Amino acid sequence: MTPPVFRFAPSPNGYLHLGHAYSALLNFRRAQESGGRFLLRIEDIDQTRCRPEFEQAIEEDLAWLGIVWERPVRRQSEHLADYGAALNRLRALGLVYPSFESRAEIARLVAEREAHGGWLRDPDGAPLYPGSAGTLSEAQRAELIAGGQPYALRLDMAAAVGRAGRLSWDELGAGPSGETGGVDARPEAWGDVILARKETPTSYHLSVVIDDALQGVTEVVRGQDLFHATSVHRLLQALLGLPAPTYRHHQLIRDDRGQKLSKSSQATGLRALRAEGVSPAEIRHRIGLV
Ligand code: GLU
């Protein structure tokens, strides 16, 4: 039997905190318990926010925690062609269209909709795409693109859901409302998500799905904040004919005030704790992984 494959997939846009330590240690532990493999993947497609020094710090902090991962490490910025190829397959299925509104224009459209009866928000609380770029003709699109207009490539959610049909995933952990076992995917709750931008031929949703498949990941262990995004991931897997891993969404580590940890909060950063003389064993104790 092929061994199960686990991965920890941080973005190098800041230093790791206790929440990352929890996720990485849980993945590593699951791999060890099951005789599985453990991979580290660097999710650095956002070149404006990711920095090599953060990547180096991630490796240092994980090694300090006693975590060992396979090499070479997959760095997403080195594989843009893989994501571009997947995007082209979705385009060929007629499921992708360019939208040209600026952020300000989108905010104005949302405000307008909200003033007239309300507007839907996605599970993260962001308004769904309010524009009508999906109805532009091919000639209009070509003209705007030729004119150098920036654009985002969006998934035509209604068409994509129509093509893929009903989907579910196997949840070994739990969602924020205790969802577990076979969970029905509801990708339509996200509207016409962005799959790529003019300057970046991919997005988080697209690259995570491609990489999990390319790396043969069998169990995705990650924070509950990504539970609802799994609906989009299942949809993309179905459209692209990729295998579905099982998912184990875990609780989030919170600060003393019950807030989700952020990369900018010093107090729970692994580097800062290490500098204060906190040991890896104390970190494990603090996050309940002894
Ligand atoms: N790169 C994502 C993050 O840092 C995690 C992606 C995932 O685990 O699916 O939040």
Mutate to test the pocket of ligand 1, among 217, 226, 236 (most ligand atoms within 8 A of CB): 226
According to the model, what pLDDT value does residue 139 have? 97
Q: Does domain 80-250 have CATH number 1.10.3720.10?
A: no
Mean pLDDT of the chain: 96
Query: What is the band of 262 on the pLDDT scale with cuts at 50, 70, 90?
Result: confident
- Domain boundaries of the chain, sorted by first residue: 1-78+254-290, 80-250
Query: What is the band of 132 on the pLDDT scale with cuts at 50, 70, 90?
Result: very high
According to the model, what pLDDT value does residue 188 have? 98
- Please indicate whether residue 159, judged by its CB atom, sits closer than 6 Å to ligand 1: no
Shared fold status for 1-78+254-290 and 80-250:
yes
Is 219 a residue whose pLDDT tops 80? yes
- Please indicate whether residue 41, judged by its CB atom, sits closer than 6 Å to ligand 1: no
Q: What is the number of the ligand 1 atom nearest to the C-alpha of 225? A: 10
> Are 51 and 18 within 8 A, CB to CB?
no
Query: CATH top-level class for 1-78+254-290?
Result: alpha beta
| Residue 208 CA, ligand 1 centroid: distance in Å | 8
According to the model, what pLDDT value does residue 212 have? 98
According to the model, what pLDDT value does residue 29 have? 97
| Residue 212 CA, ligand 1 centroid: distance in Å | 11
Distance CA 185, CA 167 (A): 5
Which residue, chain included where needed, has tokens 């003019």?
198
In this structure, which residue's CA is closest to atom 7 in ligand 1?
9
According to the model, what pLDDT value does residue 148 have? 95
* pLDDT tens-digit series, residues 12-58: 999 999 999 999 999 999 999 999 999 999 999 998 999 999 999 99
According to the model, what pLDDT value does residue 260 have? 83
